A and B are shown apart, each in its own frame.
Chain A
């Protein structure tokens, strides 16, 4: 494989991280996904996905400042990397190509 595999949920998390630019961390991503997909989203799932994405080099992370709301604990903020953006773009392109190749795209 020339590119790291990206699962469906990972892709969603990556996209959300890109959407939330600068304020993306566990809670906000989970909330955003919950709202948009109306699925049950567990924090643990989001976190594991984020760590995996980081290991694959699609996101970067740094510890942010402490806030009183979290009992003074810092949060880890995630930003999408260039590689992440490129992968998302490639996936989108691939999908578009496939949609275009479909003889009857209206599907229903």
Chain B
């Protein structure tokens, strides 16, 4: 039908014409026979609207009108027209042809899926598992990367860190002195606001008659709400914390203590005596915040915040920079700032200014850390809460990628294998007039349909598995967080991409076939050995093997740590925290509990060799040494005379502290590492000095040497340690010897209740605390096991599919062999041999890679296993066994078929 332009169109300026592209869209979309009248009507209406509403609005309405013409009615009409008069090709546009053929492709693809149902299920399932894993891991990674981004000003907030070296002791702190924040904000106009946090740990908060231990208590400046986005549900953010003895609490705490969030003006009592008025209620801190406090008490309540001590580092300080401020402009001035304020303080303390202090090897260096880096990249002393680690994120990501890769390879392999049997179909289609690109399109649509199906299954799997994953990764991720909706189109695009990739090889390969050769049978698709396919199988198994070996090594290492001789006896040691709540009764309590049956001995100290107890590193001067740069950094723990027997620590030389000898207050025990560091052949009776202040120096005499015991993580080797007889009443440890641990603990608790006056009883066991220190390794171990299982599962699904496919294609060959006298065993061997060869190659490739990677990981530990050959053998055998099992299922089935059946056709 001719699309005639008017013979003499009146000259119309372009902006008074309907948009050309809209016309083109309509021309493409609508049935050709209606084109003229529709365009005519549209233009007529357009001219009316130009007159009535103006050109601009008319053009907008025109586009809208055209878009509304794109409705299914016209498509259906065109399809109907095509099928009705399919002989008249000339009148059918490319569009309608594509439409109808796509429909046909989908039909054919669906039929193919149903034809090989097992095959399709394996294929789709493998890919779906891979996708689901990838989905969960993406959620995890997104969640990690989202930390602290809920703060509207997140990109302008920086935390000030301190790197400190005094004597030999180096510290990396997340905190700065109390005057730092206010002074810095005052001196530098680029700083809009600053806010300080002072974390004293847990408080007892009174609720009715009893007191509850609350860990989430912190003191903050009133500027908190200017810097961080913490919306108040009650109270005024400007005035909430501007008075001393005020507190802002979270909604859930308000409910917990008062049953309502209408609590403004009510009072909370901390540690029995400190009464704070509630001046605000905020929403609970988001799970993606690097600090999670429940009580924000006013900084004005504490004296430490006003003391102006430039040499105490206890305040976590955040700076909000003005818009457009480069942090580097501030960093450049930190040195002079430090000099200006720290020098007078250093002068008073050590008789030298900052320059002099630096000459002795010490330093005080401040730096700015972006808020959004804290969660993944900060592991300093005095973090407000333990942070995560970017390495875990990367490791998880890499694992997800590998699993997905295995799944994709699988998918490709199976699709390729499957389509190889379709050479005849391709030939036939070509003879009947299919174009090259149409065949390619057909195969691509088929594989994209499969990957689309896999996506649907994957999302289902993801929903089901999310709770387990949350437990595994210690997270609270929801699948449909509104800000993660962009994940869906990404996934869809990804599924299509996988389909495209997986389909591209068979598509281009098969579409090239010469129909005459194929139909004559010259292309023996079955006999073709696909090197690509074999390579892919090797890749799959090599990857799975690396993961399996990794899992073995991690588990062996964890077991090794657990069975390591740590140098102290961690069984049946009960640790009681916050023993100083007993006040003057600490000693009495300890003695009375010591009398209880089942209790062997007890020790009062704040230092136990597990996380959560004191660490105290200081500089010491060996005999005759005065220079600050020759000072030695060592741990010093205040303990009592019962420390060694309670923890079962052995003496190698000298004697333990004695309660009778009053001179023992200046006596110390050192460990073997400290003895080595000091370099005395016989350390007993040597002395070392400890500088307490500019005026005071303590001298200690060594009375004994204890065997090294692990007082830090087993990742580090044992450092030098000094045990000093001094009062330290943060905790009490009791060595028990009983079958009825629960009963003894109940007795101890009863005693506590009579003496502690309502203070909560919190206890732990040394061995449990010890295990907890390696929980992150355990978690990594669990994640590895899950991933290893998934990787093997997917790889085996692929192998299963491939072997099924080969067996099916060699049915005739097997039949003939059987007729000629082959045994079942020889046929199974014949079918399995090829695959097992591939797995063996994979083992050869994977072993060195895994060895290298795991050796790197083990470098993190001071005490580590050797990676024995047995790990590789075990992993290899395991994989081989699984592969053999998978393949033999199919090959035995094939070998058992009665040859009469397989040879009957033709």
Contacts and interface: CB of A to CB of B under 8 A. Distances in A.
B32 to A, nearest CB: 14
B92 interface: no
Interface in B379-409: none
Interface stretch (A8-16, A65-73, A99-107): A65-73
A82 interface: no
B319 to A, nearest CB: 56
A27 B69 CA distance: 14
**Interface on chain B toward A: helix, strand, loop, or mixed SS?**
helix
Interface string A11-51: 00000000000000111001100000000001111011001
Contact of A71 (B43, B45, B73): B43
A73 B69 contact: no
B77 A47 contact: no
Contacts of B65: 42-44
Contacts of A74: 36-37, 40
B14 to A, nearest CB: 15
Given A74-B37, A75-B37, A27 B73 contact: no
A76 B42 CA distance: 13
A70 B40 contact: yes
Contacts of A51: 34, 73, 77
A68 B9 CA distance: 8
Contacts of B9: 71-72
A31 to B, nearest CB: 8
Contacts of B5: 71-72
A63 interface: yes
Contacts of B4: 72-73
B77 to A, nearest CB: 7
Interface size class of A (residues with CB under 8 A): 20 to 34
B69 A44 contact: yes
B43 A70 contact: yes
A68 B47 CA distance: 12
Interface in B22-67: 34, 36-45, 47-48, 65
A18 to B, nearest CB: 19
A29 to B, nearest CB: 10
B71 interface: yes
A43 B41 contact: yes
Given A26-B37, A51-B77, A68-B6, A73 B43 contact: yes
Nearest to B17: A71
Contacts of B73: 48, 51-52
B7 interface: yes
B38 to A, nearest CB: 6
Contacts of A72: 4-7, 9
A48 B70 CA distance: 11
Contact of A73 (B36, B45, B48): B36
Given A44-B71, A45-B68, A69-B47, A25 B6 contact: no
Contacts of B48: 27, 31
Interface in B57-104: 65, 68-69, 71, 73-74, 77
Interface string A55-84: 000000001000011111111100000000
Contacts of A48: 71, 73-74
Given A69-B44, A70-B44, A72-B4, A47 B38 contact: yes
Given A43-B45, A68-B6, A73 B68 contact: no
A87 B38 CA distance: 27
Contact of A76 (B6, B10, B37, B69): B37
Contacts of A45: 68
A88 B6 CA distance: 39
Given A42-B65, A51-B77, A74-B36, A27 B41 contact: yes
Contacts of A31: 48
A67 to B, nearest CB: 8
Contacts of B39: 71, 73
Contacts of A30: 45
Contacts of A44: 65, 68-69, 71
A21 to B, nearest CB: 19
Contact of B6 (A26, A52, A63, A71): A71
Nearest to B77: A51
Interface in B119-166: none
Contact of A27 (B6, B44, B68, B74): B44
B45 A63 contact: no
A94 B6 CA distance: 49
Contacts of A27: 41, 44-45, 48
A47 B65 CA distance: 12
A63 B9 CA distance: 21
Interface string B643-671: 00000000000000000000000000000
Given A42-B68, A45-B68, A69-B47, A25 B41 contact: yes
B37 A43 contact: no
Q: Which of B6, B37, B39, B71 has the most C-beta atoms of chain A within 10 angstroms of its own C-beta?
A: B37
Q: Which of B10, B40, B71 has the most C-beta atoms of chain A within 10 angstroms of its own C-beta?
A: B40
B894 to A, nearest CB: 57
A30 B61 CA distance: 14
A51 B77 CA distance: 10
A71 B40 CA distance: 7
B182 to A, nearest CB: 63
Contacts of B7: 72
A96 to B, nearest CB: 32
Contacts of B77: 51
Contacts of B68: 42-45
Nearest to A69: B44
Nearest to B73: A48
Contacts of B6: 68, 71-72
Given A42-B65, A44-B69, A75 B40 contact: yes
A100 to B, nearest CB: 37
A30 B48 CA distance: 12
Contact of A63 (B10, B37, B41): B37
B79 to A, nearest CB: 15
A52 B36 CA distance: 18
A31 B7 CA distance: 28
Given A45-B68, A71-B6, A73-B36, A26 B47 contact: no
Given A42-B68, A69-B47, A71-B9, A47 B41 contact: yes
B15 to A, nearest CB: 17
Nearest to B40: A73
A74 B42 CA distance: 12
Contacts of A43: 38, 41-42, 45, 65, 68-69
B186 to A, nearest CB: 63
Nearest to B47: A69
A68 to B, nearest CB: 7
B427 to A, nearest CB: 42
A73 B37 contact: yes
A59 B575 CA distance: 94
Q: Which of A31, A43, A48, A71 has the most C-beta atoms of chain B within 10 angstroms of its own C-beta?
A: A71
A62 to B, nearest CB: 11
A48 B68 CA distance: 11
Nearest to A45: B68
Nearest to A76: B37
Nearest to A42: B68
Contacts of A75: 37, 40-41, 44
A103 to B, nearest CB: 42
Nearest to B45: A27
A26 B37 CA distance: 9
22 contacts: A26-B45, A27-B41, A27-B44, A42-B65, A42-B68, A43-B42, A43-B45, A44-B69, A45-B68, A47-B41, A47-B69, A69-B47, A70-B40, A70-B41, A70-B43, A71-B5, A71-B40, A72-B7, A73-B36, A73-B39, A75-B41, A75-B44
Closest 8 CB pairs of A and B: A73-B40, A72-B6, A26-B41, A70-B40, A76-B37, A44-B69, A44-B68, A48-B73
Given A27-B41, A48-B71, A70-B41, 7 more contacts: A25-B41, A43-B65, A48-B74, A63-B37, A68-B6, A71-B5, A73-B37
